[in-house]
């Protein structure tokens, strides 16, 4: 009997099967041989929401949810947040190694070349109502880029893939800034390629009539660190959407639009917006116990808490809580931080949260910083999507280079009606 194997006895037939174990997992396809007879399709594994199913092998991001560890390509997130720029981390996530000085300069130059949007995109944006949600605008506009770059369909060509990766990372902040200015009726600001990735984003958001926008170095660095923290997070809902859409060989713009759509939901990236709405609703510290009681009664969720993988403090939330103080030195203290800190203190002592291992996640504090910087809550998830684009593209690239991957196509357990004959309208009961 091989040591790395699993023996399963099917009690229906008293048959024993030995299945190999590799990397701590069995292949679900190895279960198919388990049959009650020749007519039997074979055993499936049933796993709604992928609670215990690995959909791929990956070498990009590692999370130990019990210990609260997050590594990009092996490097701890806190070390990267301390020492890198976002573009350096994006290079690492996409290419597997930290860049040399020359590689980083070339990479930054390549991304910078692609910050401009085709003028037609302005017409796309004009079609949106001023109060359209910025995430819907972002996802739609990214999809619209597909109409401008038909060569992007050539996904098997590494040179084309690289070009589209640079275009997407370069254009994402420009789309986000245009969406923001469109909502305010302000003229669009063209990219300033003398500035860094994050500084230029701030320029496109906030430049008024001055000749040169000069961002606060503290806020630019804080935003860059927030971008690093959001660069990738292994097989989360939007990465899975990216891989799933990409597995049909859709082009990277449409795949990214699908990933952005997945991110927009309040259980995923949309949670940062929901946290601010929740803090506004709570209003003051004395209302927290009543709010916690409502959460425990199942009336609502404590947004920004809980995670599928982390059953310990999300390491990103720790770093964000630290950045908040640096930002407040420039912007003034956002009073919502005090409600959030008290909420966290009370929740972490409460048996409901302790028993379920519910800790603050990345979205709990990020919105408070974004608000202090001047963003309104509807923009928060867009600020998540910009840096996550590098992670989505890294996942997409890995998918396309993985010979084990095919079009994503789950099975189902059909529990509906068996075959039956059509009933004409006149014979149907009410
Ligand atoms: N507030 C109150 N109860 C919660 C919360 C919460 N935020 N999160 C989970 N629970 C409870 C849940 O009701 C369940 O209780 P019970 O066992 O009594 O039924 C238990 O904890 C386990 O939760 P689950 O829903 O089975 O866990 P999940 O892995 O399916 O969901 C989650 C993970 C992130 C969707 C969920 O924790 C949640 O909805 N959190 C609030 C939204 C949020 O902050 N999302 C951001 C996630 S991190 C960043 C990102 O991915 O974008």
Is 9 strand, coil or helix?
A: strand
Please tell me the predicted confidence (pLDDT) of residue 146. Answer: 98
DSSP annotation of 378: G
Kindly report, residue by residue over 336-374, the tens digit of the pLDDT. 999 999 999 999 999 999 999 999 999 999 999 999 999
As a whole number of angstroms, the distance between CA 423 and CA 426 comes to: 8
Residue 306 Cα to ligand 1 middle (Å) = 5
Please tell me the predicted confidence (pLDDT) of residue 321. Answer: 84
**Which atom of ligand 1 approaches the CA of 301 most closely?**
1
As a whole number of angstroms, the distance between CA 378 and CA 136 comes to: 10
| Longest pairwise C-alpha distance within the chain | 80
Residue 243: both structure tokens together: 């891989």
Kindly report, residue by residue over 239-252, the tens digit of the pLDDT. 999 999 999 999 99
User: Using CA positions, which residue lies closest to atom 16 of ligand 1?
Assistant: 356
Q: Could you give the angle at the alpha carbon of 369 between the alpha carbons of 229 and 62, nearest 5°? A: 15
User: Using CA positions, which residue lies closest to atom 15 of ligand 1?
Assistant: 356
As a whole number of angstroms, the distance between CA 325 and CA 414 comes to: 53
Please tell me the predicted confidence (pLDDT) of residue 322. Answer: 87
User: Using CA positions, which residue lies closest to atom 29 of ligand 1?
Assistant: 308
Q: How many CA atoms lie within 13 A of 365 on its CB side?
A: 27
Report residues whose beta carbon is within 6 angstroms of any ligand 1 atom. 236, 267-269, 271, 295, 301-308, 356, 358, 361-363
The backbone torsions φ and ψ at residue 19, rounded to the nearest 5 degrees and listed phi first, read -120, 130
**Residues designated as active site:** 268, 307, 363
DSSP annotation of 269: T
* Ranges of the chain whose pLDDT falls below 70: none
Please tell me the predicted confidence (pLDDT) of residue 4. Answer: 95
CB–CB of 382/179 below 8 Å? yes
The per-residue b/e assignment along 38-76, b for 16 or more CB within 10 angstroms, e otherwise, is eeeeebeeeeeeeeeeebbebebbebeeeebebbbbebe
Residue 102 Cα to ligand 1 middle (Å) = 43
Residue 222 Cα to ligand 1 middle (Å) = 27
CB–CB of 226/209 below 8 Å? no
Range list of H helices, 332-407 = 336-349, 351-355, 362-373, 380-401
Residue 214: both structure tokens together: 């000069």
Per the listing, tokens 């608000």 go with 371
As a whole number of angstroms, the distance between CA 198 and CA 270 comes to: 21
As a whole number of angstroms, the distance between CA 23 and CA 4 comes to: 9
Kindly report, residue by residue over 42-73, the tens digit of the pLDDT. 999 999 999 999 999 999 999 999 999 999 99
Please tell me the predicted confidence (pLDDT) of residue 3. Answer: 83
Residue 353 Cα to ligand 1 middle (Å) = 10
**Which atom of ligand 1 approaches the CA of 364 most closely?**
44
**Which atom of ligand 1 approaches the CA of 314 most closely?**
48
User: Using CA positions, which residue lies closest to atom 44 of ligand 1?
Assistant: 304
Residue 45 Cα to ligand 1 middle (Å) = 24
User: Using CA positions, which residue lies closest to atom 12 of ligand 1?
Assistant: 356
Chain centre distance of CA 413: 29
Kindly report the number of other CB atoms within 10 A of residue 352's CB atom: 14
């Amino acid at each position: 009997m091989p040591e790395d194997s699993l023996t399963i006895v099917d009690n229906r037939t008293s048959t024993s099967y030995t299945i190999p174990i590799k990397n701590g997992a069995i292949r679900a396809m190895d279960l198919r041989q388990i049959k009650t007879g020749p007519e039997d399709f074979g055993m499936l594994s049933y796993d709604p929401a992928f609670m215990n199913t690995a959909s791929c092998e990956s070498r990009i991001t590692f999370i130990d949810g019990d210990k609260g560890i997050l590594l990009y390509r092996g490097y701890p997130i806190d070390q990267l947040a301390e020492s890198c720029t976002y573009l350096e981390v994006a290079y690492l996530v996409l290419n597997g190694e930290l860049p040399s000085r020359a590689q980083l300069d070339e990479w930054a130059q390549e991304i910078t070349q692609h910050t401009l949007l085709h003028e037609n995109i302005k017409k796309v944006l004009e079609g949106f109502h001023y109060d359209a949600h910025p995430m819907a605008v972002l996802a739609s506009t990214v999809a619209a880029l597909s109409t401008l770059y038909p060569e992007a369909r050539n996904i098997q060509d590494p040179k084309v893939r690289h070009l589209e990766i640079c275009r997407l990372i370069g254009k994402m902040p420009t789309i986000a800034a245009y969406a923001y200015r469109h909502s305010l009726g302000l003229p669009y600001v063209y990219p300033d390629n003398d500035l860094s990735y994050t500084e230029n984003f701030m320029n496109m958001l906030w430049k008024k009539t001055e000749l040169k926008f000069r961002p606060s170095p503290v806020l630019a660095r804080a935003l860059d660190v927030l971008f690093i923290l959001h660069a990738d997070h292994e097989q989360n809902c939007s990465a899975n959407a990216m891989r799933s859409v990409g597995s049909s060989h859709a082009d990277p713009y449409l795949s990214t639009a699908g990933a952005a759509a997945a991110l927009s939901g309040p259980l995923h990236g949309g949670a940062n917006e929901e946290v601010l709405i929740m803090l506004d609703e709570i209003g003051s510290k004395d209302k927290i116990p009543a709010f916690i009681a409502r959460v425990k009664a199942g009336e609502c969720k404590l947004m920004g808490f809980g995670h599928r993988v982390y059953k310990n403090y999300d390491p990103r939330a720790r770093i964000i809580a630290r950045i908040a103080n640096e930002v407040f030195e420039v912007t003034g203290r956002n009073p919502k931080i005090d409600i959030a800190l008290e909420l966290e203190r009370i929740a972490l002592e409460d048996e409901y949260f302790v028993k379920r291992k519910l800790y603050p996640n990345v979205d709990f504090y990020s919105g408070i910083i974004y608000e202090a910087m001047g963003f309104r809550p509807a923009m928060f998830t867009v600020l998540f999507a910009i840096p996550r684009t590098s992670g989505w593209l890294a996942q997409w690239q890995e998918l396309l280079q993985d010979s084990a991957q095919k079009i994503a196509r789950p099975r189902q357990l059909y529990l509906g009606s068996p075959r039956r004959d059509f009933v004409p309208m006149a014979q149907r009961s009410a």
